[in-house]
Amino acid sequence: MSDEQQKETRVFKQTRRKVLKGLAAGAAVLAVPTPQASASVWEAFFQKHFREMSKDELVRVLARLEKTYSRQYGKEVTVSATPPIEGVRFGYGLDLSRCIGCRRCVYGCVEENNLSREPQLHLIRVVRLQKEKGVDLDYAEHYYNPELVPEPGYFYMPISCQQCENSPCTKVCPVQATWKEKDGIVVVDYNWCIGCRYCMASCPYGARRFNWRRPQIPAENLNPTTHYLGNRPRPVGVVEKCTFCIQRTREQPGRYPACQEVCPVGARKFGNLLDPKSEMRALIENKRVFILKEDLNTRPKFYYFF
């Protein structure tokens, strides 16, 4: 009897494995349409959570991803996993009196961060507000498209992830696929997210975006320098967000985020909040600063000033 039971459990285990394998194959159909990639699909399916991987495992995962992306886009793609720099907490500043609403930042972000071109996915939303009404989103126009900006009587407010200290999105994720890194950047493990979109419901800033269809990026437009938690090509069915260009800002020395670099009016400021000499500290101490939806106690590290 007990022998039989043992046999049964073994059979059960094997069938379970088969079922899982079948599921993995199903995932293969979803993710990568190349049949010879079955081994890496198997690995991808059972890939651990980013923070639970050992160094060796991480190295192997990065190598696998580099191989997959390089093959997929026909060019050398690197995937790094540069850790946060000690003693750094990133902050962002945006000068509302300078911003002219030209949306250069929106498309600069698309190019740098390998955002899907079709379907379109933007991580920055610029809204046009009425000077008469002030910062009242009820009067926000998202689709303004005049001949020239700025238009008289209006001001513009770009909104992206506010990198909250008290982030509701990381709190609600049922599988901890999103979390706040030591340098304050809220990141997503695209290989761990199950796509439930609870984080999107919880975000007061509409900063999170879902890959409703398989993201498409023309190979010639792919930025080949990527970060695991940042701009590597995303799979379908997962949530993504602004990471302060983690692939740029965590370099040593760190580049500025793409939106900051592309802004034609210098409305965008970026720096280390812990460094008293940074422009972020200068603006917080000297300018009239406010944060969005302060009453929700999310404590954003994105400061609007004017």
Q: Residues binding another protein: what is the number (CB under 8 A)?
A: 96
Does 146 help bind another protein (rule: CB under 8 A)?
yes
Q: Which of 8, 12, 14, 23 binds another protein (CB under 8 A)?
A: 23
- Stretch of 58-66, 73-81, 216-224, 260-268 contacting another protein, by CB under 8 A: 260-268
> How many Å apart are CA 73 and CA 77, to the nearest integer?
8
C-alpha atoms less than 13 angstroms from C-alpha of 79 in its C-beta half-sphere? 21
- Stretch of 17-25, 53-61, 67-75, 217-225 contacting another protein, by CB under 8 A: 17-25
Nearer to another protein, 81 or 157 (CB): 157
C-beta of residue 199 within 8 angstroms of C-beta of residue 174:
no
Q: In the complex, what is the shortest distance from the CB of residue 296 to another protein, in angstroms, rounded to a whole number?
A: 5
Question: Which x/- pattern over 103-142 shows residues binding another protein (rule: CB under 8 A)?
Answer: xx-xx-----------xx-x--x-x---------xx-x-x
Does 49 help bind another protein (rule: CB under 8 A)?
yes
Q: Identify the DSSP state of 141.
A: B
38-45 and 55-73 are packed helices; what angle lies between their axes, rounded to 10 degrees?
A: 140
Q: In the complex, what is the shortest distance from the CB of residue 76 to another protein, in angstroms, rounded to a whole number?
A: 25
C-alpha atoms less than 13 angstroms from C-alpha of 207 in its C-beta half-sphere? 26
Q: In the complex, what is the shortest distance from the CB of residue 273 to another protein, in angstroms, rounded to a whole number?
A: 11
Q: Identify the DSSP state of 261.
A: H
Does 286 help bind another protein (rule: CB under 8 A)?
yes
* Per-residue tokens: 237: 């069915």
Question: Taking Cα atoms as reference points, which of 15, 60, 59, 13 lies closest to residue 39?
Answer: 60
Q: Which of 60, 64, 71, 197 binds another protein (CB under 8 A)?
A: 197
> How many Å apart are CA 271 and CA 80, to the nearest integer?
22
For residues 64-83, which are near another protein according to CB under 8 A? Answer: none
Q: In the complex, what is the shortest distance from the CB of residue 75 to another protein, in angstroms, rounded to a whole number?
A: 25
For residues 214-243, which are near another protein according to CB under 8 A? Answer: 214, 235-239
Helices (H), 181-227: 198-202
- For residues 176-185, b (16+ Cβ closer than 10 Å) or e, as one string? ebbbbbebbb
Does 253 help bind another protein (rule: CB under 8 A)?
yes
Distance of CA 158 to the CA centre of its chain: 16
Q: In the complex, what is the shortest distance from the CB of residue 58 to another protein, in angstroms, rounded to a whole number?
A: 17
Nearer to another protein, 220 or 285 (CB): 285
